[in-house]
Every structure is written in structure tokens, then in C-alpha cells.
């Protein structure tokens, strides 16, 4: 079961994926109380950050404090969390204690007790963009937001990397794409959306 929580930070999404008595959390923009409600008595096997912008990460220390679990994120996320100019919180949010963080590079698969989570480094919206795949669901942060491509004009954004990311997402087999904001979409729809933006980017 996947529960989507819409945060008070630019309406970013937090996802709680539950199976049996365990769960994982994707992104950390929503207030801890709403996440606690979705987690209930389940054990949190990990927290995953799709990228380092504050609307997806600002409550991460609250989650660590509450659930005492490991945070998984791209190796390029650290500089975003350390610097409020890069995470766009305008002086409000930085992380200095990374003892609960495990940084990932490239691509691979994390085998947690209940969940198997594939990861793949993306880019374009930020250097820290990471796709996570669990079963037939993918989580792409702000690389593709429904019909919109994520912004490429922010720190670490890149037109070339965005093109690579969109092409990669077209190659991935999945049923449902969960973006960092807005509703879920299916692969057929998102492949078409990616094509439109690839044409736009190649102009």
C-alpha cells in the first residue's frame, strides 16, 4: 500500500509504502505528525530522499529522531542539505549531523528486510536527483512532475542531464510514476510527456 501525504512546503509529496508490519518513507517535506499517522505501529526500514531541495528534505531530522532509521540519498545530496542557498530554504534549513545518512552513488539495489529498493542517479533538476523503484512503482522527485518537466534553472540544474534522465525514464519498465508534487501517472502518459520535453530540450 502506498499512501501519499501532501506537505505544507510547496505541496510536495511524501510517500509511505507499507508491507506487512514494515514501511519505508520517500521524501521528508511533510510535518512529522501526518507521517506518524501514516506509519502507525509499523517499523520504518528507511527514509529515501529523491533530492536535496528543502521542500523534499526539511523535516528529515524530525523523521530520524522519531523513527531512528537510516536515510538513503544520492551522494550529491549532502551539499544541498549543508547549504540553504542550494536547498532554497533561504537560511531556514541545513543539516550538519549525517550520522544516520547513507549516501548512494550510481545505481544499484538496496535489500532491506521487507523492501527491495532499486536506485538510479538522475540529474537535470538538481545534481542530487535519484530515482527509486519498488516493485512496479517509481519515485522520481521533481525530474518529471505530471505533465511538467522539473525546473532546470536552479543550482546544479542541467539541460543535458535532464535529457539523459528523461530518456532513461522512458527505458524503465514501471506501472506508476510518483512525482515530487501532484498526482500519480502511468508509464504510457509519462513516456509521451517525456517525448514532448525531449523535443523542447533539443531545440
Q: Is 27 in the site for Zn ion (CB under 5 A)?
A: no
CB 67 within 8 A of CB 44: yes
Span of 3-11, 42-50, 51-59, 69-77 interacting with Zn ion by CB under 5 A: 51-59
Cα–Cα nearest to 53, from 24, 13, 103, 15: 13
Residue given cell 540553504 in the structure block: 84
C-alpha cell at 91: 537560511
CB 84 within 8 A of CB 95: no
Least gap, CB of 21 to Zn ion (angstroms): 32
Residues numbered 115 to 154 that lie near Zn ion (CB under 5 A) are: 142
Span of 22-30, 31-39, 52-60, 185-193 interacting with Zn ion by CB under 5 A: 52-60
List the one residue from 17, 29, 44, 53 that touches Zn ion (CB under 5 A): 53
Least gap, CB of 139 to Zn ion (angstroms): 13
Cα–Cα nearest to 63, from 19, 29, 86: 29
Least gap, CB of 142 to Zn ion (angstroms): 4
Sequence-ordered list of residues with C-beta below 8 angstroms from that of 88, at least 6 positions apart, any chain? 53, 54, 55, 154
Nearer to Zn ion, 14 or 23 (CB): 14
Residues contributing to the site for Zn ion (CB under 5 A): 53, 142
Amino acid at each position: 500500500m502506498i499512501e501519499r501525504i501532501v506537505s505544507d512546503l510547496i505541496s510536495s509529496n511524501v510517500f509511505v509504502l507499507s508491507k506487512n508490519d514494515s514501511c519505508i518513507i520517500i521524501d521528508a517535506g511533510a510535518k512529522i505528525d501526518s507521517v506518524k499517522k501514516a506509519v502507525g505501529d509499523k517499523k520504518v526500514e528507511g527514509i529515501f530522499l529523491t533530492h536535496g531541495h528543502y521542500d523534499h528534505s526539511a523535516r528529515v531530522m524530525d523523521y530520524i529522531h522519531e523513527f531512528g532509521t537510516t536515510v538513503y540519498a544520492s551522494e550529491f545530496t549532502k551539499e544541498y542539505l549543508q547549504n540553504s542557498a542550494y536547498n532554497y530554504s533561504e537560511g531556514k534549513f541545513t543539516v550538519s549531523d549525517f550520522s544516520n545518512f547513507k549516501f548512494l552513488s550510481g545505481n544499484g539495489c538496496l535489500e532491506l528486510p521487507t523492501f527491495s529498493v532499486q536506485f538510479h542517479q538522475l540529474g537535470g533538476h538538481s545534481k542530487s536527483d535519484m530515482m527509486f523503484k519498488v516493485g512496479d512503482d517509481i519515485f522520481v522527485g521533481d525530474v518529471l512532475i505530471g505533465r511538467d518537466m522539473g525546473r532546470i534553472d536552479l543550482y546544479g540544474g542541467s539541460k543535458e542531464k535532464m535529457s539523459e534522465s528523461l530518456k532513461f525514464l522512458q527505458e524503465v519498465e514501471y506501472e506508476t510514476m510518483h512525482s515530487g508534487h501532484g498526482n500519480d501517472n502511468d508509464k504510457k502518459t509519462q513516456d509521451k510527456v517525456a517525448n514532448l520535453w525531449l523535443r523542447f530540450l533539443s531545440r
